[in-house]
Structure 1
Amino acid sequence: MAKDDGYYTPETTPLFNPYPKVTDKKPWLVRNFGPVGIGINLVRPGMTMQIHNVEPGSPAEKTGKLEKGQIIESINGRVLEKIDPRVILGDLITEAEAKDGKVVLKIKDVGDVTVNIPVTGPYSETWPMDCPKSDKVVRQLAEVLAKEEKPQWGSVLFLLSTGDEGDLEVVKGWMKDIETIGGMNWEKGYKGPGLCEYYLRTGDQSVLPVIKQMTEELRVNMYSGGWSGRGAPAAFTYSVGTGQVHASGVNCMTFLLMAKLCGVEVDEYMFNEAFTQFYRFAGHGNVAYGNTLPEGGFRDNGKTSGLAIGLTAAAMVDPKGEDSVYAKARDNSAMKAFYATNWFHAAHTGGGMGEIWHHAAISKMREKRPTPYRSFLDTRRWVMDLSRRFDGSIGIAGMDDRYDRSATESQGGRAWGTYFALTYTYPRKHLQLFGAPRSKWAKTFELPRPWGNEADDTFHSIEPIPGGTLTTEDLENEKVETDASLAVLNKLSDPNLTDETLIRYIQHPEYDLRSIAMDQVVKRGKTEMVVPLLKSDDPRLRQAGLLALTGMFKGRPLPPDQVTPEMYDLAGRMIENPDESWWVALHAIDALARAKPEVIAKHRDRLIEFLDYDSSWLQTAAVCTLAKIATAPEHYKAVLPVIIKKAAALRVDSASYRSLKAIADAVQAASPEVKEFASPLLKETYRDFPDVLTEPNTGAVMNRGAQTVRSRIGTILQQVPDGMEFVRRLPKTTVASHISGKPSDMYAYDGNFSKNPDIVGTWAWAVWPQPSKPSEVDDRIKAYLKGRKGKDPTKVDNPKDILQLADGGKVGRSKFFSGYFWSGDMLIGVNEDQALKMEVRTVDGVDFLVVEKGGFNAIPKTEEEATAGVPADWHCGYHVYVRQK
């Protein structure tokens, strides 16, 4: 972003990324030019403005002169140059509304066309408070929402946030005879807090049964402390092994806390699991996409900011209130929104929902960090005006994605922009979550420490780490232009970076700024800084030092020749210290994995203790590090049984994968003696493994979980005596079992090879398009033969695959089916959990081999796929090969 792209200069590089670049080839659509009523395509190369659409009933349409495709040469005399064009467009709205409301579009070959928009006056310096313009914007949207027959997304929260008694009456009308807030977890997380705020405002007990029912619906589809966005657990392997969608789940946790604040009884097991799941992310980077370790960087779709809101509720529920650890964790998570502000609409699915929560979170810091708060809002003022529609509704401008939808555009869907509009009303303090006087109906409950120990609380501080030049005053005066992530990235990538600046950010309270600084320590070879950090009394600095050994987000660790015995010794001391922060211990264990086996062995017993910690993060790290010594003659009898047992018991895909792969790598290189010892352990583990993975409290099933983990255990089994034969006999998924989910429909090889002379031979992949269901097979083969008329149909030029099937079950050459064997009419995976039916069909004297494509283990690409059931008429389709002469 800091480079001159031929349009911007380094001094005027946009603050918000991604942004429209003049050199890009595709147009950038600004869906709504504020209340003017047109969409504008930014046509590139260059930055030509072209009218994309004219909204019916808008001020633009009323001119009678504007239409799609027209070129706008300037607006109020300004062209798009030197700075982010979105900022220019937003500022043009702000300026026009502050003066005479005239927006003059100079249209090519037409001339000036004046669009008149209502005059609102300027924003005040303290907007949205003490600001007549903000008040008008709020009232316009409130009047739009009041016309809804039933509340859409954000409508309840927004009307409750205004403080207007008339708006409260509208909400009361909606709440009469309410039965549900929606079936999806997204709805519970987004709309549930509004229901709770209503009860806490009015004491209307009629909504308490609805709140209770929503918590019960969350209970039955919770898995391992988290949720998908929909009403069922996501597939075990969804999205790189997350199995969950935390952009939805973190808000479900907030709803549960708000329900407890209302006095609603929440299932204890569900609550404790979910609270642990999300609380552990605080101060450790970004809340992950799903059930994995925290993520680095600043693109998080607002999950960390959403956590700040949930922790607000936790501090309200806990009797300690503002003195609780949750209040401190809240502030640290909330400040992330300030540092992340440069990454705008930038995350999975587009990132618009992140802007909702970034604005919510920074509002929590309005009084504690007024200067960063003011800088955040003022640098984003353009997006607030660009997001407004002529009818008074509000979207989320800046990107053309699913999130730029207002209450009048959502058509019964998700009006994301109404949540964004809360930016104007958060400071009014009419919502419990945003500073309203405590409701007389609010309850308190003791909350357990869900993760870590007292040393971990240090990571929640928003104060500078003691001992450096960074001061609280410095933090209180931070501004987006000079102190958010983009500015810091530029400072730390400066070739003339000083040690003083580097240390300043190593001592910063924002985790990811420390991580970026440590990346520079490694890149610049400043190894002399590492040992003093590892010796620090502050857990945050010890952990920063460990990043040099483990690597950081998108950053490499120190090369082996720069890691000294002293560094490993210091990491070992952290591991041995029972009072060490869990977060520090985690990194120390990962760092130790790089050491020589004799160094790891010194901490063997302590690492085994970590297997019993109530943390899959620590358990996984301990398994992976212990695996480095697990096959050594002096350790295997003590280590292998415990790490095999623990790895097989992990119910998180990413943790299961890492742990079992570490064991597989160790066993593969082990001595015959060790393999002989491991064989019965692995076979027993496989035999005792459940047919399905279920949530112990609810019975919720994690789709594909058992098959995935069992297959991983089977991969290890192949390395031990009699293991290959054992693995061959493992039940394999078929089309029928994939549809039904029943183990009884799986294929089990009985060890007796079944001859099938018709199948033996060499086959070339031939027929395209491939049949997608049984009824298409014959037609596709006939079409293939028709296309080869006059030619030898068995000759295939550059076939995508050659499949050799030899007598005795051997499979050769195939790219698709390497590692398979065959018996009878089944092609059976050894490393893959699938058994595929084969059939020879002879058409016009030519033999074709029809093989099911399989793909039962394919990782779902979308949340819809991850939570959807398999239709009864589903089929995987076929590969069709032709026999070679």
Structure 2
Amino acid sequence: MKHWLVAVLLLGAIRDKDNQGRWEKRVESGPDKEVPGFLVNLGPTGARAVLTEKTFIVRYIFKGSPADGKLRLGDVLTGVGGKPFGAHTFGGQPHGYEGPILDLGDAIDRAEGKDGKLTLHIARGSSTIDVVLALEVIGSFSPTFPVNCRKSELLRSRALKYLADHPESGGGPAHARAMVALAMLTDPAHEAAGKRLVLSWNEPPGPGTWTWGLSYQLITLAEYHLLTGDASVLPTIKAVVQRLREAQYDGRIVVWAAKPNEDAKAIDAAQQLYLGGFGHKPYVSGVGQNGYGPMQYTTILAVLAWQLAERCGVRTESRAMRNALDFIHRGTNEAGYVAYGGEFTLNNGLVDPVAWRKSTGGTNYVGRAGASLLAHGLSPEFPDSRTYVEKNQGYLKKAAKSLPDGHACSSLGFAWGLLGAASSDDESILRTMLDYHRAWFTMMRCPDGSFVVQPGRDYADGGYYISSRANPTAVMALVLGLSYPKLLIQGTQVSIPGVNPRALRGSLLASYKAIGAKTYGKAAVLLKSAGPGGAPMTDYLDGLAGRALEPLAAIDDKAELERAIAVLRKTWGGVARFDRESKELLQKLSR
């Protein structure tokens, strides 16, 4: 029995020599509508091309770009800088993007760091010639990029300017809309535009809204509130939290009915393991009402969104959060690979869910593991979260080369793979991922400062046709801004004004981690020895403590007040404002 077949997908760069028939399939609108198909972008040269095993065949040239007037349609690029391109492997097992893409991307970075001259070796008709393109000299990536890297700062600035100059970028599908708004919020020069985009989403969603939209709306509004303190979005945050709860698989699950000669009891038991998950659309009990059932990505994003809302003071039902995490855990194997949907129980035919979780396979879709790492890192109140953080970290190391590939939209994998790596306490994971894909980032870059989706290996990747520029440009702006992260999805654990988590060391770093783990009393003790650099975190703790104490002001019974303070003291005891004001509240009732 196969209720839904999960294809085995191949990783690296491009799936097959025909690019699944997309070399000549145009995007219908947007900045790439004149490009004759889904082609490989040749970085800031301004050319787009078909990839063969060892060459690029030029199919489009943007006017006014470095390639304009230098390259011709039909030119076959065979090498760069005195060397022929290496070979790209189509199909097969995961093997990265070595070959022409990697070679040209590296050569562009070197040229931009020297005199800007990029020497391409070209077969043009019956002739073999060299063509020199004049690229802008903007430097090379530093060994620690994007941290302490002038080139990263420049590229981020240009990416944000592109988004600002193209306001239509903020009106795309939910995942692109969220990334554009959040990227602009992180930069003072574009914060006002980012605020306008966020507030255009400050409206409670209606019944039936897809869970993708609910989660991305909640992530965006919550990050905005945490960054700005603007309380005007709190009613909508509360409404979206409730809509997500209504969308969750809950109660007795009914998605499938047994077919003739199938064990009805086994089918029913298997689909009960969907409990806690989220599908594309809100769950509706009934056979044929829910497509292929819940998915890991939508469930992970819901947990991430709920946890951000919690930090805004909007509570989520604990059982709902626990059930969602349990669904994710059932779909995570021993190696940290995160499934697509419910193939751990039923979607690929009846399987042993215990055996599935003990399996160690998987080399693809690092984005899902990255998102899971973020969600579990924001869920320290659940004791098993650390186990899954470690599993996901291990998988990011194992499957780092799959970053450019993602099902349905490659920008999903790209975004959450990198942001998840940034949230890891193992800095080598992000470093490995960034270093390996440095040339890929360069090849994504367009002459106008934007970034574009590149062809990949997934059989159903529609990212180029969904949002060819806005989404990848916003994602790269967030990644290039990791030198000073401001958002929780950038791995900050908690957003504290005036605090750059990546610059913290010693007791300051320990204090920050304690705040992220919600052990506020421990953080307060550590900050006492941290010196003046700890002032922003001390102020932040005092602000949180004040909000925690606010409901107690309405209690007029001393015994009840003492009980409430005793509960809060487990978390807040040691924080100066809590200790002082809780004492004052008790004294007031004692008079």
Give the whole-Å Cα distance in 2 for the aligned partners of 1:386 and 1:311.
32
Alignment of 1:729-808 (within 5 A): none
Once the two structures are TM-superposed, the CA of residue 184 in structure 1 deviates from its matched residue by 2.9
- Per-residue CA deviation, residues 762-811 of structure 1 (Å, 9 max, x unaligned), is xxxxxxxxxxxxxxxxxxxxxxxxxxxxxxxxxxxxxxxxxxxxxxxxxx
Length-normalised TM-score, structure 1: 0.42
SS at match of 1:314: coil
Once the two structures are TM-superposed, the CA of residue 32 in structure 1 deviates from its matched residue by 0.8
Once the two structures are TM-superposed, the CA of residue 250 in structure 1 deviates from its matched residue by 1.3
Q: Identify the residue that residue 152 of structure 2 maps to in structure 1.
A: 134
Amino acid at match of 1:32: N
Mapped pair 1:169 → 2:175: no
Give the whole-Å Cα distance in 2 for the aligned partners of 1:158 and 1:23.
34
- Per-residue CA deviation, residues 439-495 of structure 1 (Å, 9 max, x unaligned), is 48x999999xxxxxxxxxxxxxxxxxxxxxxxxxxxxxxxxxxxxxxxxxxxxxxxx
Mapped pair 1:212 → 2:238: yes
Give the whole-Å Cα distance in 2 for the aligned partners of 1:361 and 1:286.
14
Larger relative CO (CA 8 A, sep 6+): 1 or 2? 2
Contact 1:160 1:431 in 2 (8 A): no
Which of 290, 302, 321 is the matching residue for 2:341?
290
Q: If you compute each CA radius of gyration, which structure gives the higher value, 1 or 2? A: 1
Amino acid at match of 1:179: N
Mapped pair 1:359 → 2:423: no
Q: Identify the residue that residue 86 of structure 2 maps to in structure 1.
A: 81
Amino acid at match of 1:259: A
Which of 432, 438, 441 is the matching residue for 1:375?
432
Mapped pair 1:59 → 2:66: yes
SS at match of 1:165: coil
Mapped pair 1:156 → 2:181: yes
Q: Identify the residue that residue 76 of structure 2 maps to in structure 1.
A: 71
Length-normalised TM-score, structure 2: 0.61
Alignment of 1:560-579 (within 5 A): none
Q: Identify the residue that residue 585 of structure 2 maps to in structure 1.
A: none
Mapped pair 1:326 → 2:385: yes
Alignment of 1:613-628 (within 5 A): none
Once the two structures are TM-superposed, the CA of residue 86 in structure 1 deviates from its matched residue by 1.7
- Residues 437, 55 of structure 1: alpha-carbon distance in 2 compared, 3 angstrom cutoff: same
Once the two structures are TM-superposed, the CA of residue 333 in structure 1 deviates from its matched residue by 1.5
Contact 2:164 2:193 in 1 (8 A): yes
Which of 138, 143, 149 is the matching residue for 1:120?
138
Amino acid at match of 2:59: H
Which of 356, 372, 377 is the matching residue for 1:307?
372
Amino acid at match of 2:439: W
Mapped pair 1:225 → 2:276: yes
Q: Identify the residue that residue 200 of structure 1 maps to in structure 2.
A: 226
- Per-residue CA deviation, residues 77-125 of structure 1 (Å, 9 max, x unaligned), is 4432255222112112212211222334444148444433322101111
Q: Identify the residue that residue 48 of structure 1 maps to in structure 2.
A: 55
Give the whole-Å Cα distance in 1 for the aligned partners of 2:63 and 2:300.
39
Once the two structures are TM-superposed, the CA of residue 127 in structure 1 deviates from its matched residue by 0.8
Give the whole-Å Cα distance in 1 for the aligned partners of 2:365 and 2:119.
39
SS at match of 1:120: coil
Give the whole-Å Cα distance in 1 for the aligned partners of 2:82 and 2:75.
17
Give the whole-Å Cα distance in 2 for the aligned partners of 1:124 and 1:200.
31
RMSD: 3.9
Give the whole-Å Cα distance in 2 for the aligned partners of 1:355 and 1:200.
24
Count of matched residue positions in the alignment of Structure 1 and Structure 2: 413
Where do 5+ consecutive residues of structure 1 fail to align?
1-14, 448-885
Which of 148, 156, 162 is the matching residue for 1:144?
162
Amino acid at match of 2:305: F
Give the whole-Å Cα distance in 1 for the aligned partners of 2:101 and 2:435.
14
Alignment of 1:218-297 (within 5 A): 218-223=244-249, 224-230=275-281, 243-268=293-318, 270-281=320-331, 284=334, 285-293=336-344, 294=357, 296-297=361-362
Q: Identify the residue that residue 426 of structure 1 maps to in structure 2.
A: 482
Alignment of 1:491-502 (within 5 A): none
Contact 1:395 1:405 in 2 (8 A): no
- Residues 171, 331 of structure 1: alpha-carbon distance in 2 compared, 3 angstrom cutoff: farther
SS at match of 1:426: coil
Contact 2:419 2:479 in 1 (8 A): yes
- Per-residue CA deviation, residues 603-637 of structure 1 (Å, 9 max, x unaligned), is xxxxxxxxxxxxxxxxxxxxxxxxxxxxxxxxxxx
SS at match of 1:217: helix
Mapped pair 1:392 → 2:401: no
Give the whole-Å Cα distance in 1 for the aligned partners of 2:481 and 2:387.
24
Give the whole-Å Cα distance in 2 for the aligned partners of 1:274 and 1:190.
17
- Residues 59, 221 of structure 1: alpha-carbon distance in 2 compared, 3 angstrom cutoff: same
Alignment identity in percent? 24
Contact 2:55 2:100 in 1 (8 A): no
Once the two structures are TM-superposed, the CA of residue 344 in structure 1 deviates from its matched residue by 4.8
- Residues 201, 344 of structure 1: alpha-carbon distance in 2 compared, 3 angstrom cutoff: closer
Q: Identify the residue that residue 463 of structure 2 maps to in structure 1.
A: 403
Once the two structures are TM-superposed, the CA of residue 50 in structure 1 deviates from its matched residue by 0.7
Q: Identify the residue that residue 476 of structure 1 maps to in structure 2.
A: none
Q: Identify the residue that residue 342 of structure 1 maps to in structure 2.
A: 401
- Residues 266, 350 of structure 1: alpha-carbon distance in 2 compared, 3 angstrom cutoff: closer
Contact 2:247 2:283 in 1 (8 A): yes
Amino acid at match of 2:106: D
Give the whole-Å Cα distance in 1 for the aligned partners of 2:465 and 2:157.
19
Give the whole-Å Cα distance in 2 for the aligned partners of 1:24 and 1:430.
38
Give the whole-Å Cα distance in 2 for the aligned partners of 1:379 and 1:16.
15
Once the two structures are TM-superposed, the CA of residue 22 in structure 1 deviates from its matched residue by 8.7
